Structure 1
Amino acid sequence: MSEPKPGAVAGVSEILVMYPLDVVKTRIQLQVGTGAQAEYSGVVDCFTKIIKNEGPSRLYKGITAPILMEAPKRATKFAANDEFSKIYKTAFGVDKLNQPLSILSGASAGAVESFVVVPFELIKIRVQDKNSPYKSVPDAFAKTLKNEGILAFYNGLEATLWRHIVWNAGYFGSIFQIRTLLPKPETNTQKTVNDLIAGAIGGTFGTILNTPFDVVKSRIQNTVLKPGEVRKYNWTLPSLALIYKEEGFAALYKGFLPKVLRLGPGGGILLVVFTTTMDFFRGIHYGKEEKKPETPLK
């Protein structure tokens, strides 16, 4: 796989800006009640209560886990997508990537990415919970390992696969289509604007598709079983049906607003930083006098 550094830079940039929204998203997803039973009535209410009752720093509690995760996660996402794009073009005998192959490449990259992120996501979710018994990311890691064993870090793998396959398919497939509809950029500024628009729309579309899987993943990963207790949420599709039955269709989109506020603009930021950084590294590698290869996804 080629050149992971730009993806890493892009991922860290996005998480530093958007992390508080992720905390809010998790809090809303984990609350089982609806209406008057729900502790948080919405995004603003959740932000307000966290700041008032727990302090502003709580919005960044657990950020170590996603920062450690984002570099390999984003690097894997773009590198894997680039590699799968080449594989599928060869396999299907085409010279240029088309939208179906963009979707297939994105889904394949999402599957690979899932195996990287699951342990980090589990720790992050557990630390973000309001009633978390863990003081910090290292504390959550140590206690999970001690009390549940190393395999516990892969609780929610199946739901994470669904989440990442669907999001990446929607993200990369949308980017390909949107770029064909936008005016061809004549300057670097225009290219940046196009990437920002395409990435933001792609991030929004991916979020619309994958939020139900994210709700299930959060609940599975935050579950710590007591001796003799049966897991309520286990496999993804039965869990989706259970949430729908007990809480209604809207519950499958709990946390959607903070999630889309993060991953919509975040998808644009991610793509812009990735392509800009990729161009920078390739400029250094090939030199100003040589013709540089085209950045993936352009």
Structure 2
Amino acid sequence: MGVKGFVEGGIASIVAGCSTHPLDLIKVRMQLQGEKVHAPNPQPIHNLRPAFAFNNLHVPHSSAPPLPPPPRAVGPISVGIRIVQSEGLAALYSGVSATVLRQTLYSTTRMGLYDMLKTKWAQENSNMPLAHKILAGLIAGGIGAAVGNPADVAMVRMQADGRLPSAQRRNYKGVVDAISQMSKQEGVASLWRGSALTVNRAMIVTASQLASYDQFKEMLLEKNVMNDGLGTHVTASFAAGFVAAVASNPVDVIKTRVMNMKVEAGSVPPYNGALDCALKTIKAEGPMALYKGFIPTISRQGPFTVVLFVTLEQVRKVFKEF
């Protein structure tokens, strides 16, 4: 029974992850909008000496031209069109190999563990209390995220690569190459960069997504609003996707930025951790920056959750006899 839950959850997660990958890529690009490029400070103007000077000649100081306003954030459709125009249609699936690996490691683990805990904690002939569902989701999500973090870092970097100038791109050939290069250039520990954030996000997502799906589904069935079928699965899963998106978006923005930052030898990293990243983001871009990419997040989280649970219910029917 336990192993079957892992297999069922893994199949459903890979199908859902691949089918919504372009929306996830757009979400990552939007979350990086407005992030300052951390470059070495240029030499202050007052330290620069002119190559020649005119003696006894007074040149009035002219006021410097005003800085151009920061680029306006654009919506998910515009971001998607821009990606296709500048990088080609295939760019929407940049990092899909990392998505498959991430779903295989992370989602298979969390879905299987949640199923095991739900089976173990469910009261005889009754549904598991909501508090137990949330606790099961927190535990399963945390463990799954720790297992899948290397693939998560690789996926974020591969999705973000196309927004960089050609000379600065990492140009990973695939998820294995990404993990290999990160290990060689930045150390094995870099594979778990942002892992605290990944674990926190996964705990929030899994608890809100899986627990709320079960809760919404049970409510619809118990109150005879709908019968147990496709309509119930779609309704409950879309509601669960919305709850998960609202709960997880701020952590997801910080996770994306920490994972994507470039750390070069001998230089100070742009962020010293999750809290530092959050504070710098809020200071530079305002508190609502933590909800950057929310439209593609809900646009992705909704369909992802629907595909996940609808596929899961169908896979369960197929595996019922085993």
TM-score band, normalised by shorter chain = 0.7 to 0.9
Q: Distance in 2 between matches of 1:39 and 1:65?
A: 30
Report the CA distance between 1:124 and its aligned residue.
1.0
Q: Distance in 1 between matches of 2:271 and 2:285?
A: 14
Gaps of 5+ in 2: 37-67
Matches within 5 A, 1:267-278: 267-278=305-316
Structure 1 stretches of at least 4 aligned residues deviating more than 6 Å after TM superposition: none
Check whether the contact 1:84–1:108 (CA below 8 A) recurs between aligned residues: no
Structure 1 residue 221 corresponds to structure 2 residue 259 = yes
Matches within 5 A, 1:60-71: 60-71=93-104
Q: Distance in 2 between matches of 1:107 and 1:25?
A: 24
Report the CA distance between 1:73 and its aligned residue.
2.5
Q: Distance in 1 between matches of 2:85 and 2:76?
A: 14
Give the corresponding residue for 1:178.
216
Cα deviation per residue 1:40-85 (whole Å; 9 max; x = unaligned)? 5111110111111111111111111111221232221221112222
Give the corresponding residue for 1:59.
92
Matches within 5 A, 1:249-260: 249-260=287-298
Cα 1:62–1:39 change in 2 (3 A) is farther
Give the corresponding residue for 1:21.
23
Report the CA distance between 1:17 and its aligned residue.
1.5
Give the corresponding residue for 1:103.
134
Check whether the contact 2:258–2:277 (CA below 8 A) recurs between aligned residues: no
Matches within 5 A, 1:151-162: 151-162=189-200
Amino acid at match of 2:316: M
Amino acid at match of 1:109: A
Identify which of 66, 75, 78 aligns with 2:111.
78
Larger helix proportion, structure 1 or 2?
A: 1
Gaps of 5+ in 1: 286-298
The structure with the largest alpha-carbon Rg is 2
Cα deviation per residue 1:145-196 (whole Å; 9 max; x = unaligned)? 210111110001000011111111111231232123214599x984222112
Q: Distance in 2 between matches of 1:154 and 1:2?
A: 27
Q: Normalising by the residue count of structure 1, what TM-score does the alignment of the two structures yield?
A: 0.86
RMSD: 2.5
Where 2:20 maps in the other structure, the secondary structure is helix
Check whether the contact 2:150–2:179 (CA below 8 A) recurs between aligned residues: no
Where 1:182 maps in the other structure, the secondary structure is helix
> Percent identical across equivalent pairs?
25
Cα 1:40–1:46 change in 2 (3 A) is farther
Aligned residues: 281
Give the corresponding residue for 2:3.
2
Q: Distance in 2 between matches of 1:155 and 1:102?
A: 29
Check whether the contact 1:7–1:78 (CA below 8 A) recurs between aligned residues: yes
Q: Distance in 2 between matches of 1:198 and 1:82?
A: 17
Cα 1:41–1:2 change in 2 (3 A) is same
Check whether the contact 1:25–1:258 (CA below 8 A) recurs between aligned residues: yes
Check whether the contact 2:95–2:158 (CA below 8 A) recurs between aligned residues: yes
Give the corresponding residue for 2:230.
192
Q: Normalising by the residue count of structure 2, what TM-score does the alignment of the two structures yield?
A: 0.80
Q: Distance in 2 between matches of 1:204 and 1:48?
A: 25
Identify which of 161, 170, 176 aligns with 1:133.
170
Decide which moves more: 67-76 or 31-40.
31-40
Q: Distance in 2 between matches of 1:100 and 1:110?
A: 15
Give the corresponding residue for 1:293.
none
Cα 1:241–1:49 change in 2 (3 A) is same
